[in-house]
Amino acid sequence: MQLAVVPREPPPPSEMIEGDVLPAPDVLSQVITTCNTKLAATFLVFGYLLRKTDPMYWIDNYQAADVERYGLKKAPFKSRCYYNLVPRNASDVQAAKEIGAAWTSENGQDMLNAYVDGLTKLTPAERYQLLFFCSVLVAEGCRDALRKRQWLIEQIKEIPEEAHWVRVWSDKLFVTFGRNASLETKTQLLGRLGIQF
């Protein structure tokens, strides 16, 4: 099923897209990134695809004070998986903002009813039929989104521990390295945050 959202206007390139989505820093790459699995599944329903290279990446976020106190192996951390999605075409890049806004809104039913009520040339039976078709489309989209979300969760479970990225925060500074980075790399990077490793 291919759903379509036509944007009202293109988003400014530097504007953050609603719905926990960030615009791609490189306009040529046209990548939509989100850490929200439900929203990622919604984008898949609308025809976006996971990028072939680096479709998702996992970051374990640590606080520098915890690493200094407990060491990297025992410090508490919060994990987050990011999805890199690519559109089918350039108009899908613009539609991402509309999809994100629609995903977070709660007035779609009111908007649809107001629009259908404004179609004065339709008979009551035709209005009912139009609303019925919209309901069918929503139900199919829900089913498809749940399937795609389950698939994304299965993909997350396949990411090996060694493939996780480690990000250590200290105030506004942070360093990032692979979980299986060498001792020298970890020592050098954590040293930038003042952590003796």
pLDDT score for 102: 87
Six token digits for residue 34: 């989100």
pLDDT above 60 for 2: no
pLDDT tens sequence across 128-142:
999 999 999 999 999
SS (H, E, C) 171-193: CCEEEEEECCCCHHHHHHHHHCC
Q: What is the largest CA-CA distance in the chain?
A: 75
Q: What mean pLDDT comes out for the span 8-33?
A: 46
Higher-pLDDT residue of 136, 96:
136
CB-side neighbour CA atoms (13 Å) of 165: 14
pLDDT tens sequence across 167-197:
999 988 899 999 889 999 999 999 998 888 7
Residues in CB range of 72: below 8 A, 6 or more apart: 62, 166, 186, 197
Residues in CB range of 105: below 8 A, 6 or more apart: none
pLDDT tens sequence across 25-83:
344 457 889 999 999 999 999 889 999 888 998 999 999 999 999 998 899 999 999 99
Higher-pLDDT residue of 177, 7:
177
pLDDT above 70 for 13: no
pLDDT score for 100: 85
Identify the CA nearest to 49 among candidates 62, 37, 67, 31: 31
Distance CA 65, CA 70 (A): 9
pLDDT score for 195: 86
pLDDT band, residue 8 (cuts 50/70/90): very low
**Whole-structure pTM value:** 0.73
71: helix, coil or strand? coil
User: Phi first, then psi: what are they for 57, rounded to 5°?
Assistant: -145, 150
